[in-house]
Structure 1
Amino acid sequence: MAPHDIPIKQILRPLKKLIGRQRDIERFLELFTLRGSRLFTIVGTVGVGKTQFALQVASALQSSFPDGVCTIFLDSLFDHNLVLSAILHALGITEVPSSSDLETLCSFLHKTQMLLLLDTFEHLRPAASFFPRILDACPGITILVTSRAGLKVRGEQQFPLSPLDLPNFTQKYDPEVLAHNPAVALFLACTRTHLPQFQLTAENVYPIVQICAHLGGLPLAIELAATTGMQLFPPRMLLKYLEQHPLHILVNEEQDIPERQRTWSKTIDRSYSLLQPQEQRLFRRLAIFSGGATLETLEDLYERLGEKRHHILQELAVLTNHRLVISPSEGPTDLSHFRMLQVIRAYGRKCIDVEGETNAIVQAYTAYFLHLAKEIEPQLIGAAQLQGLDILEQEQNNFRAVFTWLVECNEIENALELAAALWRFWSYRGYVSEGYQQIKQLLKRCQDEMVSAAVRAKASYAAALLAFFQLHTAAMKEYLQASLKLYREVGDRHGYAVALNAMGFCELLQGHDENVKTYYEESFPILQEMGDRWHLAEAYALVAREAQAQGNYVRARTLLEQSLVLIKEVGDRRAIVQALDFLGQIICHLKEYETALHMYKEKSLTALELGEKLLIATSLEEVGAIATIIGQETWAAILLGAGEALREISWGLISDADQRRVDDVKMQLRAKMNEETLTRIWAQGRAMTPKQALLASSLETSLQQKTDSIPLSAPDTSYHLSMYPDQLTQRQVEILRLLAEGLTDKEIAERLCISPRTVNAHLNKIYPKIHVSTRSAATRYAVERKLI
């Protein structure tokens, strides 16, 4: 048969429109146009849509190949030795007994200009060794392959196909906008195949976005969830079911689809079966990690399980090549963790159960993260604080999973130890509500015979401090009383002294200034004896607050200067910020504004090192207030402009006290410069980085000489717990956000692990604060103030 007589099997066009892949198609066509290779492999994880993408690409390339496109589906071929025979058969070429299949194929194709599309090749990769020889002998041939793993042969150009883009979770849940997101658009299109009238609405947009995110943007998983799941459940129920039983719901009953795509489990079965036993073992080990794992963490897990770990790196390379694991190099932010998509991890968890490994792996997993939390805990009040917080932040999902395992196994003592080690992390990184609920529930479950007194003492102290951040001073006092009693019982003098400090602060909060002395007089000698500089600095600050309450600002200043020296020796930046803040407030009261300015500038620069936007914004505004007092109006306007810009990228949050300070400074500036000048300088500040704004004092060209008039009131730099409008607490904002997303009281209660009655009680307090009486008005309030 002559080459030009070869009956070409034309490409099969996709029956469905390919959604969300236009940009990927354009990228591939650009790559093809460069003509740098004639062997292309579309690689991607299970269910990412490689086949449909390849068909679409091949259709777009047909005009480039005069002799056409031949598509060969290889999912049912299991012997790699038969691949060349399958290609010959697809082309209609008769095998020649005296020649090898390779020789026969090359002799017929050497003058042909054709695209060969070989679909589902991952289980036949040894046969790829023939491809370079085919391409050398046949200059008009281009080969396009789909495979879950690269072929690793000469001349191969891989094209990684990623899951569909997911919505940006910092944006509003606007149905009209999100309907155009690729993952959401695919979900809607698949749902409408059996529910033609289905629409994206304000009520269902949140769960649908979360469904797409939970499925990792994988087209096949989204199609299965939409076609089967949406026939059974509304979006909210489907999301809940997917979170609990993803492998049960991800099925397809259409009769004409390949067997491997009928269920999600069957889709992954082939990839798992292609792995060597040791690679399968690593796949199962990695599946236990909710937030992924570093190489060091995996090695530690193997060691705890008594397993050899010599070849973990090579095995990880195989798993990433098969696109079962996402390597750190593929992540946009996390540069240390190997991760799995949730639906792949669910399959891995099933494999753990099948192998009977669950108990051993869970014990090793929980032991590792309990050790990690306790190891990092001391760093959270020292110079290595930021590094420690960052490590804990990266492992937050793993810690959540560990709590779930420990509670399910009734290991309450270990769970309380973990909570007591993490309370500073929760308070510093904005997880106060979550942490407080966790530790409160654990203490409720705690029975004397189950948990040692030492662990209960430390956990009660942690609960007290978290209660403080939630403005629950009564609960704070109860927990501290329990903690002090338990520390006395076990003879832990250091823990007892630390709790005494906290109790003294609690008395101040409740206005019982006369009781404070009792606590610090007892804690001071213990802390001095033990050389605990951090808590000794805290005790000095406590006495300073007592002196402030008594109007003795000179003594308060002396005590705070001693406290600041100690805390700088320790190197805790956050505590340095708080000490500078308090000292600046006292010095302002003494009207030493130049000195106070240096305090607040140092506070701002330290806040920059911490990287917390709201804290930086507040610090800039405080410096601006002092700058106005000493006649540096231009610099003040720059600082407030920079602070305003920073708040806008931090949800626009500002406490009432901070807002009053800004308004007060603005009023003073308007009295000293015209509106046009103020607007221009303010805009310059908005365009600056915080550090540039702080260093802009040299630009000062004061529009008016300093006068002896009564100055602007000194900034109120006392610690503000609420950064939300109308004095809403963090818990109230959480509830308001969920309400605005369309959740019922019962659903809010489930999400926050509280009772519907508690939710209703919160709403009864929220409505008067924000001056509304209906859910729709509360939703509008949340949207207008950018709380969602």
Structure 2
Amino acid sequence: MSAPSIYAPTELVGRAVEFGSLRDELLGPGGRMITVTGPVGVGKSRLAAALFEHVSPEFEDGGCFLDLTDVDPLRPDGVLAAMITMAEAEAGTEAATAQERVVSYLRDKHFLLVLDGCEHLMEMLPSLLAALVTACPRLSTLVVSLEPLRVYGEALFRLTPLPVPDPRRCDDLAALQQVPAVLLFVQRTRAVRPGFTLTTENREAVARLSVLTDGLPLAIELAAAQMKLSSPQNLLATLDGDLARLSGTGSDTLSRHHCMRAAVAWSLKRLRNDEQMFLGSLALFPDQFDLDAAGGVARTGAAETHRFLEQLVDRNLLQTGECLDGDLTFSMFGLTRLYVLQWLRQTGDYERVLRGHADYFLDMAETAESALAGPGQARWLHRLESWHGAVEVALRFLTSAGDGARAVSLASALRLYWLGRGKATSGKHWLKEGLGTEGLPEHLAAKGEAVLGELMLWTGEQEAAVKCLTSARGRYQELGDPRGDATCLNRLGLAAYYHGDLAEAERVLDESVVAFQALDLTREHAMAMRDLADCHRASGNLKAAKEAAEAALADFLRQQDLRNVALTRYVLADVALDLADRDEAGRLYDMSLRELDELGDLSACAIGLEKSAILLTSSHGRITESWRRAARALGTASDLRATTGCVAPQPAQLAVDGAVAEARVRLGDHAIYECWAEGAALEPEAAIAEALTPAQSPQVARLRGLTADSPLTCRELEVAGLVAGGMTNREIGRRLGIAEWTAVNHIRKIMRKLDCTSRVQVASWMTKTGTGSAVAMPKQPDPRARQSPK
């Protein structure tokens, strides 16, 4: 029999890979029962219709495409009644039931049955389809549904949104035009406004519109329909936060849904009350979260949390990412999140959910405060980075509710996160907000002022920092808290160092060293020793500087405090460079820069790039390319300092200024400007990779040739090659001579750059690009060998 016409008058945009994969799966040996799932508006029906038109001729007896949207779910034989229209009674089956008539018709046929609009039929459809597939050995079924059938033998095909661009990196108009979400928006806009093109003026707005729509074809088409009398910039301002504006008519989209708000509401319809409340708790996460965080904010047990998450993922209300330690991360689509937040406000549950969210992050911050100072700091820094938006939601709620005490408690506990991730400006803002409320307990006011003063020092507000630290020290003295007193004393010594008053800095820092030693505070004592060592070096006392830094390094190594280990090696490298031991300085700079890059400490990476640039010109100053590389590194460092708000102490800044001045002489104004701009435009990872690249390295030269048209750095290509070879994180670490967590961090960056969600996809990318065979497996490095930028 002939299938109904489902021809679509427009091109299927951005689905070539999915189309090919689903076609191969449907025609393959495992294609008996496939369910295409995905979030509402992602284009499941459109893909299935296009596939049916293409694939049904491959079946000897053809196929049938049935839209079951209007089938009454209360009629037990509703689905069969729809199928009966395609099945003619066979001879000798006069008394057959409806199901037997369908089976009789399909039993010996090589046939494709596509069922769309099945969400409301999940009570009867799974068992019926399972029975049909069992009774009809040559029947293949393709079901289009928001959720899976959950029957044995079912193969799931999850359709994800179209890729969207990064609005911060959309300078290349030709490349932007090819991003599927943008391509669809432009094509559909031209349908209502012929001649529309991407321009330098509207490119960022178009990119942001693509992100706002989550890359969902339905939302993109409804947004494009509004362009008849609007510009992308005005449309963006109108749509932001107003889900109801994404609506249209049947002339705007082939979807059965004509309004995104109604479509999202429809996708939530089958949730129970407890599932709705659980989803509401998760809506306060702007970005990703893990299972523990989900259970923490919802106050649900592990088993219940797992069950809820499984239901929400199955119904495509949450999307998952593969976590590199074996777990999953979850995130909510932006449009779904917007709807849920509006629903919470309407039901009056918004403040209750906000309070529970803030409670969780207060508890979490107490754990993080100690973990950030020990061996788990790398994992916690990355975890907090993924939660940054959620933490700010909690802080915004606490400050707006006038709960300054808890706001200060939360912001203060995250001190090492603000510093270790270059978020000092954000930390300052929330501490000022919290400290501005009345009635703060004295101990919280002291701690908040002390942390605020340190952050101000880091961002160059010297006078305000001294005032804040002096006030905090007075509070601690009144409270009889010698630890807080010594901490403020140490920061005041740093303030003098930042200002360039080395004599005063040495005096105060030495006093803080004695105070911490008397209190038997090993970590604080080591930090003060490291600060004093830096001050000694700046004043020319290299012997004392080396002794103090080595003592501090030994303590940090025992505590496995990776960040402070790296920062202390910076000081020892500076001492080595002053002693003309350039090889040792290079080795230490490289070790520190690698470790701080792995931690994601952008402000400390800026320091390392500056130091590496100064070493490079000192070691290879006769080579013009060395000055160009140094200028690029300094350009990246300058951009990172501007991004993080981190300023250099006066002694360090003088050294940088000297290097810039000499580079200007060696290269000329035009060339140094070009190199500086190139460095500022580089991703930090690429700049660090260049800074760590030794001169005259054949292996690096070969890998750099491979990276010319690749988004991956040399090191990332090495790691990706080992992933493609099937190695575990631990095996990769051993092969490359790096820590297992370092390997995990490299793979995380690779997956983000390639927009992959699994190691299998990384391996597939390496194979498809032909890169895998070109990346040789590196030998285990000799730990006794000294690495230096020769």
TM-score computed with the length of structure 1 as normaliser: 0.74
The one of 509, 529, 532 equivalent to 2:521 is: 532
Quote the residue 2:358 is aligned against.
366
SS of 1:18's partner is coil
Quote the residue 1:753 is aligned against.
none
Distance 1:647 1:133 in 2: 68
Is the 8 Å Cα contact of residues 47 and 221 (structure 1) preserved in structure 2? yes
Is the 8 Å Cα contact of residues 407 and 430 (structure 2) preserved in structure 1? no
Post-superposition shift, 1:13?
A: 0.8
Quote the residue 1:326 is aligned against.
319
Distance 1:211 1:427 in 2: 33
| Count of residues in correspondence between the two structures | 662
Post-superposition shift, 1:124?
A: 1.0
Distance 2:190 2:581 in 1: 70
The one of 191, 202, 205 equivalent to 1:204 is: 202
Whether 1:289 and 2:285 are equivalent positions in the alignment is yes
Whether 1:60 and 2:42 are equivalent positions in the alignment is no
Post-superposition shift, 1:365?
A: 0.7
Deviation sequence 1:613-665 (CA, Å, 0-9, x none): 76676676677678779xxx9xx999999999999999997976667899999
Post-superposition shift, 1:73?
A: 1.3
Distance 2:126 2:56 in 1: 23
Deviation sequence 1:487-537 (CA, Å, 0-9, x none): 334433222211111111112222334433563465344322322223223
Post-superposition shift, 1:686?
A: 4.5
Quote the residue 1:17 is aligned against.
11
Deviation sequence 1:740-776 (CA, Å, 0-9, x none): xxxxxxxxxxxxxxxxxxxxxxxxxxxxxxxxxxxxx
Quote the residue 2:487 is aligned against.
498
Distance 1:122 1:552 in 2: 76
Distance 2:636 2:80 in 1: 61
Quote the residue 2:246 is aligned against.
250
2:158 alignment partner AA = P
Is the 8 Å Cα contact of residues 73 and 118 (structure 1) preserved in structure 2? yes
Quote the residue 1:274 is aligned against.
270
Q: Sort the Cα spacing of 1:514 and 1:439 in 2 relative to 1 into closer, same or farther, 3 A.
A: same
Deviation sequence 1:692-747 (CA, Å, 0-9, x none): 9xxxxxxxxxxxxxxxxxxxxxxxxxxxxxxxxxxxxxxxxxxxxxxxxxxxxxxx
SS of 1:556's partner is helix
Distance 1:683 1:658 in 2: 29
Whether 1:70 and 2:64 are equivalent positions in the alignment is yes
Whether 1:49 and 2:43 are equivalent positions in the alignment is yes
Alignment of 1:617-636 (within 5 A): none
Deviation sequence 1:366-395 (CA, Å, 0-9, x none): 111122123212333333321221221121
Identity %: 24
Distance 1:335 1:657 in 2: 49
Is the 8 Å Cα contact of residues 50 and 161 (structure 1) preserved in structure 2? yes
Post-superposition shift, 1:293?
A: 3.1
Q: Sort the Cα spacing of 1:577 and 1:253 in 2 relative to 1 into closer, same or farther, 3 A.
A: same
Q: Sort the Cα spacing of 1:232 and 1:535 in 2 relative to 1 into closer, same or farther, 3 A.
A: farther
SS of 2:223's partner is helix
Distance 2:613 2:220 in 1: 47
Quote the residue 2:309 is aligned against.
316
Q: Sort the Cα spacing of 1:111 and 1:400 in 2 relative to 1 into closer, same or farther, 3 A.
A: same
Post-superposition shift, 1:359?
A: 2.3
2:499 alignment partner AA = Q
1:267 alignment partner AA = A
Post-superposition shift, 1:59?
A: 0.9
Distance 1:48 1:625 in 2: 54
2:65 alignment partner AA = T
Quote the residue 1:116 is aligned against.
113
SS of 2:147's partner is coil
Post-superposition shift, 1:131?
A: 2.0
Whether 1:577 and 2:566 are equivalent positions in the alignment is yes
Q: Sort the Cα spacing of 1:408 and 1:491 in 2 relative to 1 into closer, same or farther, 3 A.
A: same
The one of 413, 423, 428 equivalent to 1:421 is: 413
Whether 1:88 and 2:67 are equivalent positions in the alignment is no
Structure 1, 183-192 or 279-288: larger mean CA deviation: 279-288
Alignment of 1:511-550 (within 5 A): 511-516=500-505, 519-520=508-509, 522-548=511-537, 550=539
Quote the residue 1:469 is aligned against.
458
Quote the residue 2:403 is aligned against.
411
Deviation sequence 1:548-598 (CA, Å, 0-9, x none): 455433333333333333333433222222222223323443456676566
SS of 1:681's partner is coil
Distance 1:185 1:555 in 2: 63
Deviation sequence 1:444-497 (CA, Å, 0-9, x none): xx04x2433333332233233323333332332233233333333443322221
Q: Sort the Cα spacing of 1:318 and 1:379 in 2 relative to 1 into closer, same or farther, 3 A.
A: closer
Larger radius of gyration: 1
Quote the residue 1:222 is aligned against.
220
Post-superposition shift, 1:152?
A: 2.5
Is the 8 Å Cα contact of residues 177 and 183 (structure 2) preserved in structure 1? yes
Distance 2:274 2:383 in 1: 29
Deviation sequence 1:227-285 (CA, Å, 0-9, x none): 24x4575434443454433x222222447979961322321333322233433333223
1:106 alignment partner AA = V
Structure 1 gaps of 5+ residues are 1-5, 667-677, 693-788
Alignment of 1:578-727 (within 5 A): 578-591=567-580, 600=589, 603=592, 606-607=595-596, 610=599, 681=696, 685-687=700-702
SS of 2:149's partner is coil
Quote the residue 1:3 is aligned against.
none
Distance 1:296 1:683 in 2: 46
Distance 2:487 2:527 in 1: 9
Q: Sort the Cα spacing of 1:204 and 1:432 in 2 relative to 1 into closer, same or farther, 3 A.
A: farther
Is the 8 Å Cα contact of residues 644 and 686 (structure 1) preserved in structure 2? no
Post-superposition shift, 1:420?
A: 2.0
Whether 1:147 and 2:145 are equivalent positions in the alignment is yes
Post-superposition shift, 1:103?
A: 0.8
Distance 2:7 2:51 in 1: 10
Distance 2:557 2:367 in 1: 22
2:192 alignment partner AA = H
The one of 149, 161, 164 equivalent to 1:163 is: 161
Q: Sort the Cα spacing of 1:556 and 1:328 in 2 relative to 1 into closer, same or farther, 3 A.
A: closer
Structure 2 gaps of 5+ residues are 642-655, 668-692, 705-712, 716-790
Is the 8 Å Cα contact of residues 498 and 523 (structure 1) preserved in structure 2? yes
SS of 2:141's partner is strand
Distance 2:392 2:165 in 1: 24
Whether 1:383 and 2:375 are equivalent positions in the alignment is yes
Post-superposition shift, 1:111?
A: 4.5
CA RMSD in angstroms comes to 4.1
Is the 8 Å Cα contact of residues 114 and 142 (structure 2) preserved in structure 1? yes
The one of 468, 479, 490 equivalent to 2:468 is: 479
Is the 8 Å Cα contact of residues 163 and 216 (structure 1) preserved in structure 2? yes
Is the 8 Å Cα contact of residues 370 and 418 (structure 1) preserved in structure 2? yes
Quote the residue 1:761 is aligned against.
none
Alignment of 1:89-104 (within 5 A): 89-91=84-86, 93=88, 98-104=95-101
Is the 8 Å Cα contact of residues 204 and 236 (structure 1) preserved in structure 2? yes
Distance 1:585 1:256 in 2: 64
2:39 alignment partner AA = T
Post-superposition shift, 1:605?
A: 6.7
Q: Sort the Cα spacing of 1:33 and 1:281 in 2 relative to 1 into closer, same or farther, 3 A.
A: same
Quote the residue 2:131 is aligned against.
133
